[in-house]
Structure 1
Amino acid sequence: MRGTQRRSLTTRILRTRILRTRILTTIIALLALQLGSLVAPAYACGCGAMIPDAAERIGVDREESAVRWDGSTETVVMRFRVHGNAKRAAWIMPVPSRADVSLGDPALFDELDRLTEPEERDRFYFWPRSDDWPFADDDMDGAGAAPPGAGAGVGVVGRERLGPFDVARLTATDPGALGDWLRTNGFELPERLTGALQPYVERSWEYVAVRLAPQEQDAVLSGELTPLRIAFASPELVYPMRLSRLAKTAQSLGLYVLADHRMEPRSPIGGDRPEVTFAGRIDRPEGAVAALAGGGPVHLTVLEQEFPNPGRIDDDHHLRTVADTPYREVVYTDRLLTIGGGIPAWLATVGGGALLATAATLLAVRASRRRRDPAPGVRSAV
């Protein structure tokens, strides 16, 4: 008896030590994760670069963009969801020609989401599953986020204040001069970004530099930022992505494309294969979608893409026209097949079969008894 008690006590002590070790390991891992997030800035985003002030950090959780291209003019409306402790940050986007910048309509993306939401269908199954009676736990409830002057080599085309954005439209003949201009204006420019800008300088692209600052004093940049609308002339539908290769963490891109036909990227440019989640013609767009589309019918394509290793991004997205094949995602809800007043079909089938078997047995017994019982008025011989 004493030996059994000792073994039980030893087992409890070992379990307690293992539990303490696991708790300590978890705490250390969480602290390391927190420390890593404080010292590793995430300053790149899908179509440009987020640059916080020194000693601050900002990360882009997700970038959503709606792009309208009519064959000669491209309009990009961008919305970012960010996190971090930055009170100010810069955002840079290369554009192939002179750009007009204004605030976007915050309702645009909600309207696009409603237009492209998946179709919901029910899918029925016959036999009960683990969360159905009689296997389900009774406790389950059924519940099955005045500007400084430009330096040499940089031209300031325009400078305006748009809500929380201080927007500068720039030209540059070399990336180093552009970096000097940004530093002079109070922004920290990672050295690697200078080299990443070289391909755009060689093609004589221009730049939209945006300084983001919350309107509330001492507030930090967090959550969804006000959309920004940028329009420029372009003979092809191009979405700048090259600067995203500087990102320290995986990137996620959601792209709504409004054009005369269905549009898809020519290549994955170093990310996962772009996924089409919606494609279809919108005959009568309304509200913010109509304002972006120009009021007439338009073909809408929705693309989702993940970039697990941003360093592999090697180009901008160049989109091309493809066949206007419609597509909409279908989301299935699995439901137990029932009949009548909600009776499970399997129960009715099994129960009905049992009843038939019972009835057949009773009929057989009754027939057997009738054969054994003498007819009325007839006595058995003794």
Structure 2
Amino acid sequence: MWKTLGKTSLLRRLGPSLGIIGGVAIAFFTLVPAAWAFCGFYVAKADTSLYNQASQVIIARDGNRTVLTMANDYQGDVQDFALVVPVPVLLTEDQVNVGDPAIVERLDAFSAPRLVEYFDPDPCAPVYPMAPSMAPGSLTSQAARGAAADQSLGVTVEASFSVGEYDIVILSARESDGLETWLRQNDYQLPSGASGLLQPYIRQGMKFFVAKVNLEEFDRGGFQSLRPLQMAYESPRFMLPIRLGMVNAQQEQDLMVYLLTPSGQVEVTNYRTVKIPSEAEIPVFVKDEFSDFYRSMFQLSHQQENRSVAFLEYAWDMGWCDPCAANPLTPEELRQAGVFWIGSAQAQARTGLMPPPGNNVFITRLHVRYARDKFPEDLVFQETSNRENFQGRYILRHAFSGGAACEAAEAYRRSLPERFEREAQTLARLTGWDVSEIRRKLPAVETAPTPWWRRLWP
């Protein structure tokens, strides 16, 4: 992906114009999602706060038009920060913007794998026919840094400008050794091995987007952390460069990619796209250990899939959710995330699909865990017309705890040990946890027969 030089990484927001893409009409939402959803109460989510080394990218794409938003977990002295990103086209100042970190957080919260819970009804209560369920409705819910390039190194400064707290240069190069030398001469601290990773991008004719923090602007703005950077461009290449980000990685890193398109799910074409295990019923004590559960489950899934895969954690129409880990993004928030086609008749004609009520934005959340010895190629995507909804969803079923007294209640209580054991086995299979330790945390079950007189009075 991109690479941070010195320490780690960054973030930022879309302004009134999208550069080459321009402004668009905004669609509409209404209503607020209720706390109850027909498939359970939402109680917890597995967002990126679970991971120590996590990068986040938003890619909004329609046709060849792309808005790329980059957000990392940069920590440390901002004067040590620098970012190098291979980009397919030469960018101008009005194609680069500083975004709002809240937009990345909103997409993360909306699409995060989630925990839901049910509560068993009184087994003695009469059962009435259920009315047909209602279909879910739509919800609205600076002087340039760097001197002229040293032509002897084969490096050209194609553009230089400042955006917000960042000083940016756009470079082209003929040889990776020359580019590496130029970066070092201009105080970019590259780790060893960078030259070999730069060369494939040079062969493809890609440019290099290089950003440093302008300390005066950063201090003047009173920012507590770096904001995301956004780029708007047109290119037939639907890809994300990740190899350059591996050069200074000492351990595995997590990458979350939120892909926003008008048509449907996005898949990785050069690696397998695998759905994360989902729809599993697990013991109720996991409610207090959901973070540990999801980390363990993802790590085991990662190992079992031989590691070089992209996990699908969420795929859903942005107009609604069930259960909702967070409200769907508003049209204004979607615009800030880079969505430029909302309400576009052109997008509707291209897909041949009528958009759902509210908007025509489909979100795909992919989770990639990568290291230096894996993922020899950058991620290459393709948009599909598949609008099948999917989410990482994990279910808690609370047993009825009242003193019901009837034959159905006795049968219900006799069934609980088998159910709890099944949930324990599922949890052990998903996480690799010791099943004997899991059993010790299961609730006790009273299986003694109900005295006959309790059927007369509760």
The structure 2 residue matched to 1:293, chosen from 316, 339, 353, is 339
Unmatched segments (≥5 aa) in structure 2? 10-51, 122-142, 273-305, 320-328, 344-359, 414-443
Deviates more, 1:203-212 or 1:330-339: 330-339
Whether the 8 Å CA contact 1:89–1:211 is kept in 2: the answer is yes
1:78 to 70, 86, 106: 70
- The equivalent of 1:51 in structure 2 is 5
Query: Which 10-residue stretch deviates more, 246-255 or 282-291?
Result: 282-291
The answer to which of 57-66 and 314-323 deviates more is: 57-66
Identify which of 258, 261, 272 aligns with 2:260. Answer: 258
Match for 2:450: what amino acid?
G
Shift of 1:194: 1.1
Contact 1:89 1:187 in 2 (8 A): no
The question of whether the paired residues in 1 share the 8 Å contact of 2:55 and 2:255 is answered with yes
1:301: how far off?
0.4
Displacement of 1:91 in angstroms is 1.0
User: Per-residue CA shift, 1:6-32, capped at 9, x if unaligned?
Assistant: xxxxxxxxxxxxxxxxxxxxxxxxxxx
Q: Scaled by the length of structure 1, what TM-score is found? A: 0.65
> 1:212 deviation in Å?
3.0
1:327 equivalent to 2:390? Answer yes
Gaps in structure 1 of 5+ consecutive residues: 1-46, 127-145, 360-382
User: Does residue 313 in structure 1 map to residue 370 in structure 2?
Assistant: no
Aligned-pair CA distance for 1:174: 1.4
Q: 1:358 to 1:101 in 2, by over 3 A?
A: closer
Aligned ranges for residues 130-145 of structure 1 at < 5 Å? Answer: none
Residue aligned with 2:79, SS:
coil
Question: Conserved in 1, the CA contact under 8 Å of 2:165 and 2:217?
Answer: no
Larger RCO (CA within 8 A; separation ≥ 6): 2
Q: Structure 1 residues 149, 273: closer, same or farther in 2, change over 3 A? A: same
Shift, 1:125, TM fit: 7.3
**d(CA) in 2 for partners of 1:241 and 1:278?**
21
Residues in 2 aligned to 1:290 and 1:150: alpha-carbon distance in whole angstroms: 36
How far off is 1:201 after superposition? Answer: 0.8
Choose the corresponding residue for 1:248, options 243, 247, 250: 250
Structure 1 pair 320–223 and aligned structure 2 pair: CA distance change class (3 A): farther
Kindly tell me: are residues 61 and 223 of structure 1, through their superposed partners in 2, closer, same or farther at Cα, counting changes over 3 Å? farther
- Cα separation, 1, equivalents of 2:447 and 2:390: 41
The 1:216–1:98 alpha-carbon spacing in structure 2 relative to 1, beyond 3 Å, is: closer
State how far apart, in whole Å, the 2-side matches of 1:333 and 1:248 are. 37
Residues in 1 aligned to 2:199 and 2:452: alpha-carbon distance in whole angstroms: 82
How far 1:101 sits from its partner (Å)? Answer: 1.8
Distance 1:170 1:271, change over 3 A: farther
Letter matched to residue 293 of structure 1: V
295, 308, 311: which is aligned to 1:275? Answer: 311
Higher strand fraction: Structure 1 or Structure 2? Answer: 1
The equivalent residue for 1:230 is 231
Q: Is the 8 A contact 1:81 1:225 kept in 2?
A: no
Q: CA 1:92 to 1:349, structure 2 compared with 1: closer, same or farther past 3 Å?
A: closer
2:124 is the alignment partner of 1:122? no
Identity rate of aligned residues, in percent?
Answer: 22
Correspondence 1:199-218 to 2 at 5 A: 199-212=200-213
Q: What do you get for the CA RMSD once the two structures are aligned?
A: 3.5
CA distance in 2, matches of 1:348, 1:207: 63
Aligned to 1:69: 61
- Give, in whole Å, the separation in 1 of the partners of 2:271 and 2:238: 15
| CA 1:325–1:217: 2 relative to 1, 3 Å | closer
Describe the SS at the equivalent of 1:310.
coil
8 Å CA contact 1:98–1:233 kept in 2: the answer is no
Rounded Cα–Cα distance in structure 1 between residues aligned with 2:80 and 2:234:
30
Q: Which residue of 1 aligns with 2:27?
A: none
Shift of residue 109 of structure 1? 1.5
Q: Could you tell me which amino acid in structure 1 is paired with residue 184 of structure 2? A: R
Partner Cα distance (1:150, 1:225) in 2: 28
By how many angstroms is 1:78 displaced? 0.9
Tell me the equivalent position of 1:151: 150
Q: Is the alpha carbon distance of 1:217 and 1:280 closer, same or farther for their aligned partners in structure 2, counting shifts above 3 Å?
A: closer
Deviation by residue 1:199-228 (Cα, 9 ceiling, x = unmatched): 11111110100113655999xxx9953111
Match in the other structure for 1:104: 99
Is the 8 Å Cα contact of residues 103 and 229 (structure 1) preserved in structure 2? yes
Moved more, 348-357 or 104-113: 348-357
Q: In the aligned structure 2, how far is the partner of 1:94 from the partner of 1:290? A: 24
**1:168 aligned residue:** 169
What SS is found at the alignment partner of 2:451? helix
Alpha-carbon separation, structure 1, partners of 2:190 and 2:118: 53
* Deviation (angstroms), 1:257: 0.3
Q: How many pairs does the alignment contain?
A: 285
Q: How many angstroms does 1:335 deviate by?
A: 2.1
User: Compared with structure 1, are the counterparts of its residues 241 and 271 closer, same or farther at alpha carbon in structure 2 (3 Å cutoff)?
Assistant: farther
Distance 2:228 2:182 in 1: 25
Cα separation, 2, equivalents of 1:73 and 1:178: 28
